[in-house]
Each structure stands twice: as structure tokens, then as C-alpha cells.
Structure 1
Amino acid sequence: MATGLAACGADGTNNGNSGESSGSSTTGGGGAGVELTYMFRGGEDERKAYDQAIAAFEEQTGAKVKVIVTDADQYRTKLQAAITGGQVPDVFYLEQGSVMAFAKTGVVKDITGDIEAAGLDVSKVWKYGVDSYRFDGTRVGQGAIYGLPKDVGPFSFGYNKTMFEELGIPLPDKDKPYTWAEFRDVAKQLTSPEDERWGTGLNVAWNLQAWVWSNGGDWADEERRTVTIDTPEFAEALQDFADIQIIDGSTPSIEQAQTMDTYQRWMRGQIGFFPVGPWDVSTYQGLDFEWDLIPYPVGKTGETATWLGSLGISVSNSTEHAELATQLAMYLSADEECQRSLYQAGIQIPNLVDMAKGEYLEAEGAPANKEEFIQIAEDYGRALPAAATWTPEWYDDFWVGIQPVLDGEVTAADYVAQLQPQMQAKLDAANMDAGI
């Protein structure tokens, strides 16, 4: 997936800080002569932003931080190798889907007491972000804190404003989402393969959630005990998503996508609608067309939906410098100046709620409708289905054989009916392994 997962600012400005965030420093001295290891994943822009943040932390504490950085697709493998080899970094990124397993097996430290002792008020951070790394021994979302959010990642929907204007098509309403029928109609109007122009090009693994949830379906029940893909609401959503290509032809064909993937086509101005996360903003600032955010199209519930991701910053249970390591996690997650530098770098929205709803919204630069990111973070974004289960294997199975549905060779209803028992067996096994 090209839109992957994401100290004063580079220009030294605070971009209109109104002082709302009341962010006191989360660091102190006492780190002289200590070296921490910090492992994270990220692209070039994120690495540059974190180089500045780490340098500021070192200056404030006197500590040295050895940074281990990987690409997103290598991170999980390299972290697991470090754990297996007994070389766990002092501080590292924790994926939402690993919270339960890492907490139960003692890989990550319960930092609740350290946070309280440091005086960090976690209520100033997005509740979703903090709760994503809570675990009470049975459920994720409550109990002790095993990490702090590196970010919250609202997965929003973007459109090529320039393309609309050039074709004379009315711009989408930022407050009133399209229905599925309206969206498909506009996507067809945008599509002209001979002109290398298509309405959309959505990756099913990262966009189907919006269709399913908005239609009243889900992958599993709230307790994550029963797989629920074999419902009419789910099948209807999957079929509508597939029909954007099968019937409408509003996305590049398989052959066209092999020549150039849809992310590249979006970047070249050939795609009308495409997903956008805060981690994309730094890259998208250089596009030669104007773009903005709108809500995802809506199904039968009439309510827009999408997912809200996160990465956590956790402290190793085996670190010899627990207090300083926790300081680093708190600094990267909740220090006001650090958060300002990260949002100004265009790689995330601020973790501090007041900053996100204040100076961030007033900041210049795309997207103009930054409010959509905030609404997802505050109101309607949901965790991905496997974010709070022992393993994601049950959920991953859904995508393995999805292509025949997208090609029109298998109906959505037949696919979900056939797959549900297999996914249920894997979810049952995951719950058994977790002891719940």
C-alpha cells in the first residue's frame, strides 16, 4: 500500500500557536552518559522529522539515542528478530494488533506508574490513541498503559479538485457525503481511459471498511467472538465496491494497474478520488494539482465511516533505563514542541487534542478541509477489525482470495458464505491462545 503507515519545526516557526495546548515539557535532565536504543519505521520525511525530535530530546536530557530505523514492510520481522535474540530496543513502535500478545508475554513494560509519576496528563492526548495501548489482561482498550500513541491516523478520502474544475463537474460537499449511487455516477463522469483518467483506484484491503461499516456490516461482533462477514449488509457492500470496476469500469484495469499502480496515477493527476492519511500530506504538498478531503460515500446507514489507525511507542520490559526510556516515549508522544514539529512536517496530526483543534486547523497549506481528519479522530473513526485480537490471521484470511470477487468471477455473497467458517476457526484459535 503506497499510502503507508507515518525540536522546533524545520522552518523554526510555530505556525500560529495560540497557546491552547498547555503543553509542558515531558523531559528532564539526568540522562548524561546513558544511551537508549529507539526503533521505528518510516519514510524519508518522517525520518527527518524524528532526527530533529531526537536531537532536541538529547539536548534536554543529556542522553544519547541510537536510532534503528526500518521500512514499514521490514519492521515487524526485524523487531521480532530483536526480541528472539534478546536485544529488545529500549523504546520501539508497537502495532495496535500486538498490544495483547506483547503485554501478556512481558515484552513491553506497564508504564502507567511512570506516566503518573512524571505528571503527564493523558487526557490531553486523543483518548483513542491512549486507549489503543491499554490492556487489562483480557481486553485491549482498558486497564494499564503499555504504550503511548506515536500518532492517531485518520484514513480520509481525497479528491482531485483540479480535475473536477477542468471537467466542469460540481465539487463534492465537504459536509454531505455522496451516496454510493451518487459516488459511482460521478466516478463514471470522471473516467476516460483514452485520456488516462479514471474516477478512482481504491485498494480493497484499506478502503472496503468504509463501505462495509457504512452499510451496517462488520467483520466480527463487538466482542470479537463471532465472524460476521456472512451478512446481507456485508455482502452488499463488497459487491458494490467490486462493481465500481466490474460494471462501471471507473478504475484502471488489472493490465493498466500493472503498467502503473493507482497511487502513481493519483500522483500524476489521473485519478479523481483516492484515500489520504496525514502521513501523505508532506508528499502531496508537491503535487501539481489541487486536492482536498471529503467524507467517504455512504451506504444504507446514511453515516460515513472509515478507520482510525495508530502506532504506539512502548518501553521494553528489559530496559536498564526504564525512567529515561519512558521519558523518551512521553516526549515523542505528548511534548508540545515535538508535536508541533511533527505536524508542521506534514506526517501526522497532533496527538494533543487542543493543538489539533486549534493551531493545526488554522495552519496554512493543504488540505484545506483539515477538519475532516479531526472529525475522524474525534467522532467516527474505528479501529481496524484485528487491532484488538491476539493475532490478525483470522482477518488477514479475508483478503487472500478476494481477487475473483473484484474480477466478477465470484459473487460477494458466495465468497463471504464460503469463507466465514474458515475465519471463525482462526478467530476461535486466537481467543483460545489469548486465554479469553
Structure 2
Amino acid sequence: MKRKSKWVSSVLLTAMLVLSACSGGNDKENKASPSSSPQSSASEPSSAAPDNKEPVTIEFMGHGNPNEKKIFEKLIASFEEKYPNVTVKYTSVPPGEYSQKLTTLVSSGKAPDVFYVGGSEFYRFAAAGTVLNIQSYLDQTALFNPDNVWKQALDRYRFDGSKVGSGELYGLPKDVGPWAFVYNKTLFDQANIPVPPAQAGQWTWNDMLEAAKKLTVDENGDGKPEQYGVGAYSLESAVWGNGGQFIDYDAGTVLVDQPEFYEAMQFVADLSLKEGVSPNQEAEQALNAYTRFLDGKLGMFAMGPWDQPAFWELPFEWDIAAWPASPNTGKTATWLGSMGFAISAKSKHPQEAFDLAAFLSLDENGQRENYELGQAVPNLIDMANGEFKAVDKAPASRQVFLDIIQDYGRPDVPAFSKDTQWIDTFWQDASKVWNGQMSAKDFTAQIKPKMQELYDKGNK
């Protein structure tokens, strides 16, 4: 998963950074044919096996920051050590360029053997036959125990011919990304403020606001705090915790004009507009919330597991907590992202491509390297509940990551859309609320019909 940092002014670019691309797949045409059926031993070569195999080169394309690139270079080196006959040509594309580049490669028939895919991108690729149905490969490898991989992650890569979430697997999770509430423990301790609890429901929006006011510091009284209490507060967390929804996917109905939604949205906007505890648009443009947190000038923020390598270098103590609960419902929620590994339906080396995807997603040693390097929560449940939790590194409350996965995390909003224009439009126009031009109630009433029209056009 990528960082998806969002803040109160564009709110939560997280939803917008779920990379999208075009294309799709055909369920029947994408299954492995009998002639290409994987060998049961192919994913677990013996020490002598490489001598009997032809050298193979496969291409793998992903995206990420420099830390992620370094991590995957190490993981690929481990894969090549395990599969000496396979050479992996790895390309890491800047996140903002990835979707366009992948779309161009797919359209020209030059898709990499293995590539990142997620959300609406996966939906379209699966529906159009771009990605391989890998169920038969999984059925014949001992690496895959469906009872020991997060269902919440696997279901994101199932496709039944018409919708995502059920059916056979067309991808494997690269990760499952719990979006956690992170705080600067040093600032809390210095201000003698009790830290946010790890248990869901024990801290409300009111508790968070009280702490944020104490952590907001305007040293020279010019109305521009040098230190803020909270930044990039998750609109999704606020809406879902308050009992609202962006959309009812089963009915195909956009629900942003409901009181549970617009009340939560106004609460998020008022953190800067009314309370002054969160950077407004001008302050965010001058210095974004992510950088403020790294600089030790922000009390509470948001993070995914992939942020750990950068956060481990910070000169202050930090930890994670449950997102504050709505005082109206007592409920806590946040989004649970995921990026996956897909295999091109046109790959000339589908077995080797599957071996790489399976290694990166399911291999015990690969998963261990992944979490030790701070890239993700293990996809393997027993490892996550065991050695991952016992790691003697921040966050101390890493159980929060697992609680989000198991209890109160939800798929990010566009996860089950083929076309995301409806939600993209919402994020693009939401600045009218963040800058105080419109109330959340008026804005959502105005934009709901447009969102519904776009959803119906692109997804029905």
C-alpha cells in the first residue's frame, strides 16, 4: 500500500491515491488451461531442481517511495536465491505515473508478467481478461492455506464474473493496509495529556478535540500555530463511525446527503475552520501534515504500516491508537486498504510469475522479511498474531493494526467500483467545505445527484 496521506484541506487524498487504471477480464477465458496447469512442486523447488530448468526472465512492475523500492529489491533477491533459474526484471514507477504507464503497457500487449493492482483497477482488469485466474495454481501449491491468510485481503481479489468480493482468485494481496491513528507520544507526555487508548470506543471525537486544543501552540500569537493538535483527520473514519456511508453498493445508491454523513463531514471541516486545531488549506500548502508530523510539530495524524521505516527514524516517541469514536454512536471505524499482485493473462511464463507473486504474498520467509523491514502487516495470520506482535519496535500498540483488520476496518470507498468518477468528483469539490465556502449539509445535497449520475453511468 502507498501512504495515501490526506489532510483536512483536500481531505484525505487517501481515497484519491488508491491508484486507478483501465481495463478488465473474462472469468472463463482467464483460467489456466490443462496444458498450462501448474506443477504441484513448482512453488517449492528442491535444491537439485534448478539444474533441470531453463533460465527464465520475468518482469515485475510496482510503485512506491524509495523505502519500498529498497524493500522489494531485497525481497526479489531472496526470491532469486530460492529460484535460481528465474531472473526478475523489477521496475518501480513513481506513484503518480503508475496507472498511466500500466494502462499503456496493457493496451500495447506488453504488460509486465506481475504487477500491482488494486481497487477499481483490479475490477476492470478482472472483468476484461487482463489478469490471470490463478485459482488452479493456488490449489496446487502448499504455500497457500486460505485459513491462514486474512479473508479481508483475499476477498479483494476474488471475481465471480460480475462483481468483486466473491468467486475465484485473480490476484494475491501484496498487503492489507490498516489506516491507523498515530500520535506523538513525546508531545502528549510533555503536555501531561493522557495518550489516546488502543481499544476502540474508549476515546471520542470530544476527547480528541480536547487533547488537540492543548497540543495546538501559537508561540507568537499571530494566529498561525507553529504546532497543531491534529492533521489529515480521516473523513471516512468520521463518517463510518457516525453511522454514515458514502454509498450502498448493494443498492447502488449514493448516501452522502444523509445527516450521519454531513454531520461527520462538518466535524472534520470544523477542526480547522472553527477550532483551529488542524492546519487549514493555506497552512497545509505551506507545509503538509505528513511533514509536520515528521518534524514533531503535529500531535495526531494517520499512518499505514508502510510508514514504519520512516517513522522508526524519528527523534521522538510515537504510538498508534484506535480512531476516536463518534459520540453519537460510540463506534470506531477506519479504512482498510490493500494492493495486490496480479499476473498478466498474456504472460509467457505464468508458473514463474505465479511463483514470484506467491513468494511475495505467501512465503513465510518473504513475509518475515517484509514485516521486519517495516513494509506491511504479515498476510499470514499466525505470523501476524505471533512474532509480528512481539517485535520490539514502535508502535508498541501494534495490536491496533490487527484490530483494524479484524474488527473495524472497512474497504476504502472506491474498492468495489469499476469507474471512480463519482467519488473522484466528491474529493475534487470537497474543498468548498474545507475552506468554509459551503456547509457540509449544503454541499452534500448539491453534489449527491451528480455523484449518483456518474456512478450509474460508470458502474451499472
- When the two structures are superposed, what TM-score results if normalisation uses the length of structure 1? 0.91
Residue of structure 2 equivalent to 1:13: none
Is the CA contact (8 Å cut-off) linking 2:212 and 2:299 kept in structure 1?
Answer: yes
Aligned partner of 1:392 in structure 2 is 420
Match for residue 71 of structure 1? 94
Structure 2 unaligned regions, length at least 5: 7-13, 19-40, 220-224
Match for 2:217 among 192, 196, 200? 192
Question: Once the two structures are superposed, what CA deviation does each residue of 1:110-129 show, in whole Å capped at 9, x if it has no partner?
Answer: 00011102232222111111
Q: Determine if contact 2:247/2:253 at 8 Å carries over to the other structure.
A: yes
The question of 1:38 aligning with 2:60 is answered yes
Unaligned runs of 5+ in 1: 7-23
Partner of 1:304: 332
CA distance in 1, matches of 2:43, 2:301: 37
2:304 pairs with 1:277: yes
1:188-219 CA distances to partner (integer Å, 9 max, x unpaired)?
1111122611101116xxx1000000000011
- Tell me what 2:207 maps to: 182
Letter in 2 for 1:202: A
Q: Corresponding residue for 1:337?
A: 365
Deviations 1:128-168 (A, max 9, x none): 11110001012211001110000000000011110011111
1:159, 1:291 within 8 Å by CA — same for their partners in 2?
Answer: yes
Within 5 Å, give how 1:8-19 maps onto structure 2.
none
1:54 pairs with 2:82: no
4+ aligned runs moved over 3 Å, structure 1: 1-6, 24-27, 29-32
State the alpha-carbon separation in 1 of the partners of residues 54 and 408 from structure 2: 44
Structure 1 position 69, deviation (Å): 1.0
The residue that corresponds to 1:95 in the other structure is 118
1:255 and 1:142 mapped to 2: Cα distance? 44
8 A contact 1:156–1:275 mirrored in 2: yes
Whether the 8 Å CA contact 1:177–1:304 is kept in 2: the answer is no
2:60 alignment partner, SS class = strand
Equivalenced residues, count: 412
Question: The residue matched to 1:174 in structure 2 has which SS?
Answer: coil
Closer, same or farther in 2 for the Cα pair 1:224/1:351, shift >3 Å? Answer: farther
Task: Judge conservation of contact 1:27–1:57 (CA < 8 Å) in 2.
Answer: no
Are the aligned partners of 1:99 and 1:135 in contact in 2 as well (CA < 8 Å)? no
Aligned equivalents of 1:83, 1:311: Cα separation in 2:
18
Deviation string, structure 1 residues 88-121 (Cα, Å, up to 9, x no partner): 1011111122222101111100000111022322
Q: Which moved more, 1:153-162 or 1:51-60?
A: 51-60
Counterpart Cα distance in 2 of 1:26 and 1:319: 17
The residue type equivalent to 1:127 in the other structure is K
Are 1:354 and 2:357 matched, yes or no? no
Distance, in Å, in 2 between the alignment partners of 1:155 and 1:226 is 25
Q: CA deviation at 1:27?
A: 4.0
Deviation per CA, 1:38-75, whole angstroms, max 9, x where unpaired?
A: 01112222212211211122222211111111121111
Contact 1:242–1:406 at 8 Å: present in 2 too? yes
Give distance in 2, aligned partners of 1:167 and 1:241: 24
2:248–2:254 contact (8 Å) kept in structure 1: yes
Are residues 1:201 and 2:231 paired?
yes
- Cross-structure match for 1:154: 178
Calculate the TM-score normalised by the size of structure 2.
0.86
- Whether 2:268 is the aligned partner of 1:241: answer yes
Equivalent in the alignment of 1:292: 319
Q: Name the structure 1 match of 2:136.
A: 113
Report SS of the residue matched to 2:176: strand
Q: Secondary structure at the match of 2:253?
A: coil
User: CA separation in 2, counterparts of 1:252 and 1:104?
Assistant: 41
Is residue 165 of structure 1 aligned with residue 189 of structure 2? yes
1:26 shift after superposition: 4.3
Query: For 2:255, which of 200, 224, 228 is the aligned residue?
Result: 228
| 8 Å contact from structure 1 (residues 157, 293) kept in 2 | yes
Give the secondary-structure state (helix, strand or coil) at the position aligned to 1:409.
Answer: coil
Question: Deviation at 1:25?
Answer: 10
Q: CA deviation at 1:233?
A: 0.5
1:134 is aligned to 2:124: no
